[in-house]
Chain A
Amino acid sequence: MEYLIHLAILFAIYAILGVSLNLVVGYTGLLSVTHAAFYGVGAYTTAIFLTKSGVGFFSSLILGIAIAVAVSFLIGVVLSKFKGDYYALGTFGFNTIVFAVFLNWQNLTGGPLGIPGISKPELFGINFANNFNFMVLALIFLVLIYFASRFVANSSFGRVLKAIRQDETAIAVFGYNTLYFKLVIFVISAAMAAVAGSLFASYITFIDPSGFQLTESMFILAIIILGGLANLRGSILGALFLILLPEILRFVGFPSDIEAQMRQVVYGIILILLMLYRPQGLIGEYKL
Chain B
Amino acid sequence: MLPQLILNSIIAGAIYTLVALGFNLIYGATKFFNLAHGIIAAIGGYAVFYFAKTLGLDVYVAIILGVALAGLVGFGLDKFIYLPLRRRKASNMVLLVASLGAMTALQAVIAILFSSQFKTLSGNIGTQKLFTILGGVITQTQLVILLSAALVMAGLVAFLYKTQFGKTVRAISDDEEVARIIGINTNKIIGYVFFIGSAITGFTGILVGFDVGIEPTMGLSLLLKGVIASIVGGAGNIYGGVLGAFLLGFVENFGIWKISGEWKDAIAFALLITFLIFRPRGIMNK
Interface residues of A, Cβ cutoff 8 Å to B:
31, 78, 81-82, 84-86, 88-90, 92-94, 96-97, 99-101, 103-104, 214-215, 218, 221-222, 225, 257-258, 261-265, 267-272, 274-276, 279, 287-288
Contact = CB atoms under 8 A, between A and B. Distances in A.
Given A88-B93, A261-B112, A279-B90, A267 B269 contact: no
19 contacts: A78-B277, A81-B277, A82-B276, A90-B276, A93-B269, A97-B269, A104-B263, A218-B100, A257-B115, A267-B104, A268-B100, A268-B103, A268-B106, A271-B97, A272-B105, A275-B81, A275-B90, A275-B97, A288-B93
A223 to B, nearest CB: 13
Nearest to A269: B105
B282 to A, nearest CB: 11
B141 interface: no
Contacts of B280: 82, 86
Contact of A264 (B84, B107, B220): B107
A222 B97 CA distance: 9
Contacts of A104: 260, 262-263
Given A78-B277, A272-B81, 11 more contacts: A89-B272, A96-B269, A97-B266, A100-B266, A215-B104, A262-B108, A267-B105, A268-B101, A268-B106, A271-B104, A275-B95
B108 A103 contact: no
A214 B221 CA distance: 11
Contacts of A103: 262
A263 B104 CA distance: 10
Given A104-B262, A276-B81, A268 B94 contact: no
Contact of A214 (B115, B220, B227): B220
Given A90-B276, A268-B108, A276-B98, A96 B103 contact: no
B284 interface: no
Name B's interface SS: helix
A85 B92 contact: yes
A263 B105 CA distance: 9
Given A85-B33, A100-B262, A268-B104, A275 B276 contact: no
Interface residues on B, range: 35 or more
Given A104-B260, A264-B104, A276-B98, A85 B93 contact: yes
A164 B19 CA distance: 35
Interface string B89-130: 011111111101111111111011001100000000000000
Contacts of A90: 272-273, 276
Contact of A279 (B94, B107, B263): B94
A48 B247 CA distance: 38
B147 interface: no
B224 interface: yes
Contacts of B268: 96
A86 to B, nearest CB: 6
B90 A89 contact: no
A84 B101 CA distance: 18
A271 B100 contact: yes
B85 A275 contact: yes
Interface in B41-71: none
Contacts of A271: 97-98, 100-101, 104
A82 B281 CA distance: 12
Nearest to B271: A93
A89 B231 contact: yes
B53 to A, nearest CB: 21
A276 B79 CA distance: 13
Interface string B19-41: 00000000000001100000000
